[in-house]
Amino acid sequence: MLGRLIPIDRKPSGWRRWLLRLPLALDSLHLNGLLGDRFVVVVHRGRRSGRRHRTALEVVRADPATGELVVASGWGPQADWYLNLRASPAVEVHHGRRRFRTIQRFLDESDASREMRAYAMEHPAAARVLGSWMTGAAFDGSSEAIARLVRRVPFVAFRPRTGGD
């Protein structure tokens, strides 16, 4: 269903773009709390321009003990925000009512598979829709489907920077 709304092979436009940018509007108004824990806004620098950008992403996992947040690049490894993070670490993250500087890490396929498996167990309907949309094939939560997804979709984890980091 989502694949028909927002095809993965091109950037969204019109009302689709507006819908995906709604979390950014709430972030601008400091109303991130309305999004709950499912979305995060990542503030990053353009890899060529150096300009500050904000990107809203769905949280795959939020660890309350460490504050770590895991996200996936639904537009694949060519997504601008992902390429920007590869060039320079995120400036900060806005999650719910919290805003913090981060330490980021790029997950390998093993860690990404573990995260996606847990996400599929916790949010089976969303995993089916998003997994199918991101891979272009039916997503049933099987090991094969998860492997197909993590080969195409990179995962990034952010955790709050502490005084010693």
In-domain check, residue 165: no
What is residue 99's DSSP assignment? Answer: E
Q: Does any domain span residue 65?
A: yes
Cβ pair 160, 102 in contact under 8 A: yes
Q: pLDDT tier at 163 (50, 70, 90 boundaries)?
A: low
pLDDT of residue 39: 87
C-alpha R_g of the chain: 15
User: Residue 42 sits in a domain of what CATH number?
Assistant: 2.30.110.10
- Whether pLDDT at 42 is above 80: yes
pLDDT at residue 4, as a whole number: 39
Predicted pLDDT at 6 = 40
Q: Tell me the pLDDT tens digit for each residue of 86-115.
A: 999 999 999 888 889 999 999 999 999 999
148 neighbors 135 (Cβ within 8 angstroms): yes
In a domain, 1, yes or no: no
Q: Is residue 5 one of the residues assigned to a domain?
A: no
Is position 3 within any domain? no
Return contacts of 17-23, CB within 8 angstroms, 24+ apart. 20/56, 21/56, 22/56, 23/56
Give the residue ranges of DSSP H helices in the chain. 2-5, 14-28, 80-87, 109-122, 124-135, 143-152
pLDDT for the residue numbered 7:
43
% helix, strand, coil for the chain, step of 5 = 40, 25, 35
Residue 7 placed within a domain: no
DSSP code, position 97: T
Asked if residue 22 belongs to a domain, the reply is yes
- How high does pLDDT run on average in the chain? 84
Is 55 contained in some domain? yes
- Average pLDDT in the 41-62 region? 93
| Enclosing domain of residue 121 | 13-160
- Alpha-carbon distance 27 to 15, whole Å? 19
In this prediction, residue 119 has a pLDDT band, given cuts at 50, 70 and 90, of: very high
pTM of the predicted model, to two decimals? 0.82
How many domains does the chain contain in total? 1
The answer to whether 105 touches 156, Cβ cutoff 8 Å, is yes
Q: Is 50 or 15 the better-scoring residue by pLDDT?
A: 50
Cα separation, 32 vs 95, in Å, equals 7
